[in-house]
Structure 1
Amino acid sequence: MPLSPPPPADGLRRMSPLQRDRRHCLALPMALLLMPDRSEAQQLVFRTTGQEANTLKFDPGNAEAPGFSVEAMRWIEQRQPNLRFVGQELLRPVKRIDLELESGALEVFFGLVRNDAREAKFHVLDVLYTQYGQFAMRSGDRVSVQSLDDVRALGDNSVIGVPKGSAFADFLRAQPGLVVDDGVASVSATLRKLMTGRVRLVFFGGAVLRKYIQDEGLEQQVRLLPTRYLQTEVCVMASRGIEPLKLQRLRDALEQLRSSGELRRLQEKYQVGG
């Protein structure tokens, strides 16, 4: 004699098929809530790069101060293990960074100066720090320079050295009556021109100049003048072609960098403005 199946539980015995289907449907949202968020669990890899000739942002050989941008990315990776940046060890000139970020070959870069052209081409995500242009002169040159008019008053002996392709070169060339030499691309090479007398002054971001003067042991030979010009914001920028999920996760990580106080700590360490 075949065995009969066990009777259903009392609750289910009293339910019609339609009622049982409704019960299962009500249980489904709870099951979805208990599932892990795949956007949080998925590892996201961001293509980036380093910048050559700017050790304030990228100084890979310096264990104690590897660069503002490098430390910001490392902090994010440590706090968000599912986010990873690749390519920052390769140092590129700014012009190439612009081109590759626009093409989508790079997805994000930590440390481009905000301007109208970049705001039109990229996502500007957050300001890392504010920088100001300053002049440097040889310590033995005791002329007083407190304004651009003071530079103009120096006449023919007032050549200003500035790294080629920088926002500071564009600023100087827009000022009437200034003699600008932007024949070399790096701050270090521009300072060498100052030391050999090929230029009278050097103009660049004050924090960057200070770091190069210290790193190259020129504190006794070169003085940084206190007057500030051309305030600019150094930002994290992303390609317009970046995936929306990556963009949002990056925004969240940068907000955490700021709200945690780590961004302020880096600004103080590298002596730049907030």
Structure 2
Amino acid sequence: MTVAHGIGTKLLLAACLMPLPAAAAPAPIELRTAAQEGTEPKFIADGKGRIAGLCVDILRAIEHIDPGLRFVGDQRWKPLIRAYSELEAGLEDVQCAVQRTAERERRFNFIGPPLYTIEYHFLVRANDDVALQTWDDVRRLAPDGVVLVNRGFAAGDIVTAMGGIEVDASSTSPELNLQKLIAGRGRLYFHRGPGLQRLLQRTGTAGKVRILPPVMYSAKLYFATSKQLDARIGERLADALHQLDRKGELERLMRKWD
């Protein structure tokens, strides 16, 4: 054996013993979503050019449990009506914390456990001494009983289903409806908590509007996906959400933003 041949053999042996480079991890699957306007505490402008909130925390928690999933779009605002329309069309993949109704079940898939429960209250002008306990009390306010709701939100369907109540759903945001309420263009504003007191503080209306204590309606919110989303991805999302629920993480995040 020549010296050169011996050196070559040793080099070949050394190369064979070297560990193979690890296979590159597959890129995370990107799931398109959007920050829903007027839905705090789900999505809140943090004043520093970023969007924070309960749903943003839930999305990051899912990514932590399943690093193969990544949400994109939660830093872009969209009107709720547009966000839901794009979810139905498959232009978005998921939306966080959606109220489950028969109409929406025809448009979206709902997965996982309930994320949290919302409670609906009436808001009135601070100088209005009206007291309400039942929906019959609301009906008896007519003809001075117009109820303001956000267009595209489930609140309008809820009040309409009660019957005998005039509903104004022409405005798309809580800010606009609070201004209409203060201006006397509606007697009541029907909106859901958590986050009602925070909403009044943020909009500078805390001294002009008060929240009536009775809970007039409650509902659970769920994670919704496009019907075009691959069922296997939906299963991964549902599994991550169930893990968060079992660990008490959903409840902890809810308390953080309540």
> When the two structures are superposed, what TM-score results if normalisation uses the length of structure 2?
0.81
Match for 1:174 among 133, 141, 161? 161
Q: Which amino acid in structure 2 is aligned with residue 118 of structure 1?
A: R
Q: Deviations over 1:161-198 (max 9, x none)?
A: 11112211122223333222222111111011111222
Q: Contact 2:35/2:77 (CA < 8 Å) preserved in 1? A: yes
Q: Which amino acid in structure 2 is aligned with residue 101 of structure 1?
A: L
Fraction of identical pairs, as percent: 35
Match of 1:32 in 2: none
RMSD: 2.5
Q: Deviations over 1:5-55 (max 9, x none)?
A: xxxxxxxxxxxxxxxxxxxxxxxxxxxxxxx9x9x9652221111211222
Match for 1:53 among 27, 33, 38? 38
Q: Which amino acid in structure 2 is aligned with residue 195 of structure 1?
A: I
State how far apart, in whole Å, the 1-side matches of 2:105 and 2:168 are.
Answer: 28
Q: Secondary structure at the match of 1:251?
A: helix
Structure 2: give runs of 5+ residues left out of the alignment: 1-21
Structure 1: give runs of 5+ residues left out of the alignment: 1-35
Match of 1:236 in 2: 223
Shift of the 193–250 alpha-carbon distance from structure 1 to 2, 3 Å rule, reads same
Shift of the 208–185 alpha-carbon distance from structure 1 to 2, 3 Å rule, reads farther
Q: Secondary structure at the match of 1:174?
A: helix
State how far apart, in whole Å, the 2-side matches of 1:162 and 1:267 are.
Answer: 24
- Aligned 1:88-103 pairs, distance under 5 A: 88-103=74-89
Bigger radius of gyration among the two: 1
Q: How many residues align?
A: 235
State how far apart, in whole Å, the 2-side matches of 1:41 and 1:256 are.
Answer: 23
Match of 1:67 in 2: 53
State how far apart, in whole Å, the 1-side matches of 2:209 and 2:244 are.
Answer: 35
State how far apart, in whole Å, the 1-side matches of 2:142 and 2:106 are.
Answer: 39
Q: Contact 1:135/1:206 (CA < 8 Å) preserved in 2? A: no
Q: Which runs of 4+ in 1 moved over 4 A?
A: 62-65
- Aligned 1:10-89 pairs, distance under 5 A: 43-62=28-47, 66-89=52-75
State how far apart, in whole Å, the 2-side matches of 1:154 and 1:100 are.
Answer: 38
Q: Which amino acid in structure 2 is aligned with residue 242 of structure 1?
A: L
State how far apart, in whole Å, the 2-side matches of 1:83 and 1:206 are.
Answer: 30
> When the two structures are superposed, what TM-score results if normalisation uses the length of structure 1?
0.77
- Aligned 1:1-274 pairs, distance under 5 A: 43-62=28-47, 66-126=52-112, 127-271=114-258
State how far apart, in whole Å, the 1-side matches of 2:28 and 2:163 are.
Answer: 52
Kindly indicate which of the two structures has a greater share of residues assigned to strand: 2
Q: Contact 1:131/1:234 (CA < 8 Å) preserved in 2? A: yes
Q: Secondary structure at the match of 1:162?
A: strand
Q: Deviations over 1:136-172 (max 9, x none)?
A: 1122211222222222222322222111122111222
